[in-house]
């Protein structure tokens, strides 16, 4: 994620100047969520796999966003990849336990 900071920042940073977005932009975000939804759905969660994928993306996004602007160290000494893996592992454990 962090080795492609420019891509991440292009998708999610900058001021919002409109309530409408180009179809290609929305398709990129939808595709990203779709790539997360597929493995989440394979775990057969009780909840909606798409909603769980959105939650997971938002969890990891917070980590990446802070790391990308070199501010993660203000909150933790943990490495971004360690935190991202922990977020994914917690989501998988919650799905398997039926508590997602």
CA 43 to chain centre: 18
Q: What is the pLDDT of residues 34-51, one digit of tens each?
A: 999 999 999 999 989 999
Q: Residue 33's pLDDT band (boundaries 50, 70, 90)? A: very high
Tell me which DSSP letter residue 78 carries: S
Q: Could you tell me the pTM of the whole model? A: 0.81
Asked if residues 11 and 74 have their Cβ atoms less than 8 Å apart, the reply is no
Whether the pLDDT of residue 11 is over 80: the answer is no
Sequence spans of domains, the chain: 2-10+22-97
Following DSSP, what letter does each residue of 21-77 receive, concatenated? --HHHHHHHHHHHHHHHHHHHHT--SS-HHHHHHHHHHHHHHHHHHHHTT-GGGT-S
* DSSP letter, residue 98: T
């Amino acid at each position: 994620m962090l080795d492609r900071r420019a891509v991440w920042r292009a998708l999610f940073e900058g001021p919002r100047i409109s309530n409408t977005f180009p179809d290609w932009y929305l398709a990129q975000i939808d595709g990203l969520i779709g790539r997360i939804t597929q493995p989440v759905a394979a775990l057969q969660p009780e909840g909606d796999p798409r909603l769980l994928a959105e939650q997971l993306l938002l969890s990891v996004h917070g980590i990446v966003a802070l790391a990308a602007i070199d501010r993660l160290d203000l909150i933790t000494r943990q490495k971004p990849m360690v935190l991202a893996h922990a977020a994914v592992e917690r989501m998988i454990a919650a799905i398997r336990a039926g508590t997602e």
